Structure 1
Amino acid sequence: MPETSDSPGLHTMVGPKIAKVNVAQQLKMLREEAGLSVTSVADAMEWSVSKLTRIEKGEVSIQPLEVRALLDHYAVTDANLVAELARLARTSRSRQWYSRHRLAGAYADFVAYENEASVIQAWQMLFVPGLLQTSDYARAVTARTLRADPNDEQVRARVELRLDRQKALFERMDGAEAPRVVAILDESVLRRPIGGRAVMARQLDHLLTLAEDDTKFALGVAPLDLEHHSGLGGSFELLKFSDKSHTDVLFVEGAAGRDFLLADKGSTDRHNALFQDLLDYGRTGDRALQMIRSIRDGMQGD
């Protein structure tokens, strides 16, 4: 299909989340280029202003027929562009595995973006990143976080979501365009026996097993005696996408459920630099794995 726009995501095979965002951005841009207000377009389409606003913010999906109607109103005559935006609209409406979890807010967007990222970079100061957790460790850390019994309904729901995220990741890793996970852990994470020493030893074994395929997983460790430590501001996950389908997305999981999802260049550039510092000054490759093995052996020996 000939190129008709340099906008990220057009003429690129993307998932439903990025498709929705790209349709939203394109429709807003084309409306503004046509010199039309939100109110006038909503009136012409016999929609509420709220509906059009939410479509342009990427909060809701739009039907392909509605896309064609809008583009006709905007006097867009490029048949390729019309067809491509209609295709993206159709993609954006496809139901995904995470729909059944009924997620909301920034965390819902994070899970959707993570499910389409080509590179997932995680820095964690407190516990093993969710995508790398064993089920026993996941139950233990979630129960501790919620101050609840491991069999509590809310604990089970969160662990189920985490395991579903892992399942989706591994399914994508078996595909043609396998994503890659780069995780850097504070040394204290490795030494903190969440769930008990036996559970923690199995968790460390799991990390070592994952790291055997370095095309899919790479692990780093920020030692406790690291002087040049750029990660003291807190844990985060940085998502990157193939080609130019979307800008980087930064996720920061906050206390009391106040999560933050940022895509502005200032925030993502800063955290890209922080992550690179952790790679440059921390332990990576065999040195990181040797530390994990040593701590694992200590857990098993006690």
Structure 2
Amino acid sequence: MPPGGRPTVRSRRLGAALKRHREAAGADQATAAEAILKSVSKVSRLESGLTSASALEVRTLLDCYGVQDAGERARLEGWAKTGNQRGWWLDFQETVTPDYADHITLENEATYIRSWQPVLIPGLLQTAEYAESVITSGPTFIAADMAARLVQVRQERQRRIAQGGVQFAAVIWEPAITSLASVPAIAGPQWSRLLEVGDRYNVTVQMLPASAGRAAGVAGPFVSFSFGDEPTVEAVAVENLPNTSVIEAPDDLALYVNVFDRLRSTALSSEETADRIRQLLKNA
């Protein structure tokens, strides 16, 4: 069973994929249950993500559904094998909420990440000083030791970008960048970080001009994730005040893909963005 008795993002993704293939094959849950020699309730729990599927169960179900695509089979069997794999963030269980753990899981497994931020610098691009200021200025009190652990988690998350293991694209509304000027001690290092990270081959940073307020107001902050060789979005994390919601319904995903494409096309190029940030540093 997924940790904590709740569906994890891994188990939900696998369950949804198995359900999709079953329905495409015109099979019911009773047929699936017979194939793996389990109960119908077991199949129902698998498809809802409430329990984990073994790689053998996944292989048997895909055989039953007539799924021949080798890449899809390998992907789903891989999910089953790593479904209970311990992530580094579990070392911070007292700090990382279940919703945050889901977000980190998506981030850790993604091959493409796209982030829209109208208010803050994306977490994957934040300096430690900036991260601490954001964490401690939230609506709830956070003790100094807890804040320090959250900053550490944020820095650990940034390792994938540093190691080149993921393609990351960020669109940031200009006020989120320029407003840092009021705190010079944080602004300079953070602007320099944007330039340094944005120069990496696997990272693109674009500034949406302040004048594009209509475009900026279309959606609040969100992050989309792709997991294969192609940048097909399979999950979106939407940031709310109390938590983060993960969206996986195809029609809803299409809306976020469209919004991000519009934001990216309206934003300055990465080169123009770097020039604007250099000007901010020069004038600081």
Contact 2:113–2:226 (CA<8 Å) still a contact in 1?
Answer: yes
Displacement after TM superposition at 1:96 (Å): 1.9
Contact 2:128–2:151 (CA<8 Å) still a contact in 1?
Answer: yes
Counterpart residue type for residue 219 of structure 2: G
Counterpart residue type for residue 272 of structure 1: V
**Residues matched between the structures, number:** 271
Deviations 1:24-44 (A, max 9, x none): 632774498554449976xx6
Aligned equivalents of 1:78, 1:289: Cα separation in 2: 47
SS at match of 2:229: coil
Displacement after TM superposition at 1:17 (Å): 6.2
Q: What is aligned with 1:218?
A: 204
TM-score scaled by length of structure 1: 0.73
Deviations 1:147-186 (A, max 9, x none): 546x623322322221111124433x1xxxx311111111
Q: What is aligned with 1:188?
A: 175
Contact 1:186–1:224 (CA<8 Å) still a contact in 2?
Answer: yes
Counterpart residue type for residue 109 of structure 1: D
Q: What is aligned with 1:160?
A: 152
SS at match of 2:106: helix
Residue correspondence of structure 1 range 78-89 to structure 2 within 5 A: 88-89=79-80
Q: State the superposition RMSD in angstroms.
A: 3.7
Q: What is aligned with 1:62?
A: 53
Is 1:233 the counterpart of 2:219? The answer is yes
Aligned equivalents of 2:66, 2:266: Cα separation in 1: 54
SS at match of 2:264: helix
Q: What is aligned with 2:84?
A: 93
Q: What is aligned with 1:111?
A: 104
Contact 1:117–1:179 (CA<8 Å) still a contact in 2?
Answer: yes
Contact 1:230–1:274 (CA<8 Å) still a contact in 2?
Answer: no
1:194–1:17: structure 2 CA closer, same or farther, 3 Å change rule? farther
Contact 1:67–1:86 (CA<8 Å) still a contact in 2?
Answer: yes
Aligned equivalents of 1:77, 1:268: Cα separation in 2: 27
Contact 1:221–1:283 (CA<8 Å) still a contact in 2?
Answer: yes
Residue correspondence of structure 1 range 1-302 to structure 2 within 5 A: 21-22=13-14, 25-26=17-18, 29-30=21-22, 33-37=26-30, 45=38, 49=41, 52-64=43-55, 71=61, 88-102=79-93, 103-146=96-139, 148=141, 152-171=144-163, 173=164, 178-193=165-180, 196-213=183-200, 215-226=201-212, 229-243=215-229, 247-257=233-243, 259-299=244-284
Displacement after TM superposition at 1:232 (Å): 3.9
Contact 2:30–2:40 (CA<8 Å) still a contact in 1?
Answer: no
Displacement after TM superposition at 1:134 (Å): 0.7
Aligned equivalents of 1:67, 1:226: Cα separation in 2: 47
Aligned equivalents of 2:256, 2:66: Cα separation in 1: 41
Aligned equivalents of 1:233, 1:86: Cα separation in 2: 35
TM-score scaled by length of structure 2: 0.77
Aligned equivalents of 2:31, 2:266: Cα separation in 1: 50
SS at match of 1:248: strand
Displacement after TM superposition at 1:271 (Å): 1.8
Q: Greater relative contact order: 1 or 2 (C-alpha under 8 angstroms, separation 6 or more)?
A: 1
Displacement after TM superposition at 1:195 (Å): 8.7
Aligned equivalents of 1:162, 1:237: Cα separation in 2: 15
Contact 1:139–1:159 (CA<8 Å) still a contact in 2?
Answer: yes
Aligned equivalents of 1:245, 1:293: Cα separation in 2: 31
Aligned equivalents of 1:109, 1:235: Cα separation in 2: 17
1:129–1:91: structure 2 CA closer, same or farther, 3 Å change rule? same
Contact 1:190–1:295 (CA<8 Å) still a contact in 2?
Answer: no
Counterpart residue type for residue 290 of structure 1: D
Contact 2:33–2:40 (CA<8 Å) still a contact in 1?
Answer: no
Q: Find the structure with the greater CA-based Rg.
A: 1
SS at match of 2:138: helix
